[in-house]
């Protein structure tokens, strides 16, 4: 590595910390998450560290705001804002890839309490593990679907494509809900999810 490239690397890292300040979204943090020594050790930790915060941030970054003056589209505007969204999408891709690794524990152990464990009927770590082991390819397919939606979000963020980011957000929501319904939610009669067109109409998208 040349002295110039080293200097540019330091400048980039400095700008990332000073100008962006992401909690989980920066490229540096994603790289650390991909490092074997610090990679999430379970499905629950992958959700907590890589997927949930990033997905929530992407959904919050773009959408329609209803005010007394009418509807307004909220979307990233500055270089820093788009870079943040790109980092969130990278975090999602990393998380989706981690979920595809065979044998990844659901929780720290079979008795780990998962999110919403106090909700009656919520599946336990042991129950989810049994479901995954019964058909590993099904769980992997769900993770691949999440990765494809995450790739879609990443491409839209890099292209600064607001409609594309909206579509990616819908794809992310569908991928998340499908997996949660299959493995995590209580085993009750599922509600019918709206189509993309119905979702867009209810959300008031232009």
* Whether the model pTM is above 0.75: no
Per-residue model confidence (pLDDT) at position 204: 63
Q: Which residues of 3-27 are buried (b: 16+ CB within 10 A; e: fewer)?
A: eeeeeeeeeeeeebeeebebebbbb
What is the full per-residue pLDDT of the chain (206 aa) written as tens digits? 443 343 334 333 333 333 334 433 444 445 444 444 578 899 999 999 999 999 999 999 998 888 888 888 899 999 999 999 999 999 999 999 999 999 999 987 766 777 777 777 888 899 999 999 999 999 999 999 999 999 999 999 999 999 999 999 999 999 999 999 999 888 766 567 677 788 777 766 55
Per-residue model confidence (pLDDT) at position 45: 93
Burial class (CB in 10 A: 0-12, 13-18, 19+), 146: buried
Per-residue model confidence (pLDDT) at position 4: 39
Per-residue model confidence (pLDDT) at position 189: 65
Residue 194 is encoded by which pair of tokens?
Answer: 């709206």
Reduced to 3 states, what is the DSSP secondary structure of residue 186? coil
């Amino acid at each position: 590595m040349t002295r110039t490239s080293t200097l540019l690397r330091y400048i980039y890292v400095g700008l990332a910390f000073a100008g962006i300040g992401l909690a989980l979204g920066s490229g540096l943090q994603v790289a650390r998450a991909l490092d074997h020594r610090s990679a999430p050790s379970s499905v629950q930790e992958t959700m907590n560290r890589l997927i949930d915060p990033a997905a929530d941030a992407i959904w919050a970054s773009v959408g329609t705001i209803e005010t007394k003056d009418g509807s307004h589209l909220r979307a990233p505007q500055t270089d820093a804002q788009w870079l943040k969204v790109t980092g969130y999408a990278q975090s999602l891709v990393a998380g989706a890839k981690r979920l595809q690794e065979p044998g990844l524990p659901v929780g720290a152990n079979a008795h780990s309490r998962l999110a919403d464990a106090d909700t009656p009927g919520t599946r336990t770590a042991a129950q989810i593990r049994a479901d995954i082991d019964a058909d590993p390819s099904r769980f992997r397919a769900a993770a691949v679907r999440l990765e494809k939606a995450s790739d879609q979000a990443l491409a839209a963020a890099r292209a600064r494509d607001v409609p594309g980011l909206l579509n990616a957000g819908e794809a992310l929501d569908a991928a998340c809900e499908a997996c949660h319904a299959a493995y995590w939610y209580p085993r009750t009669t599922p509600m019918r999810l709206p189509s993309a067109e119905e979702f867009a109409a209810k959300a008031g998208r232009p």
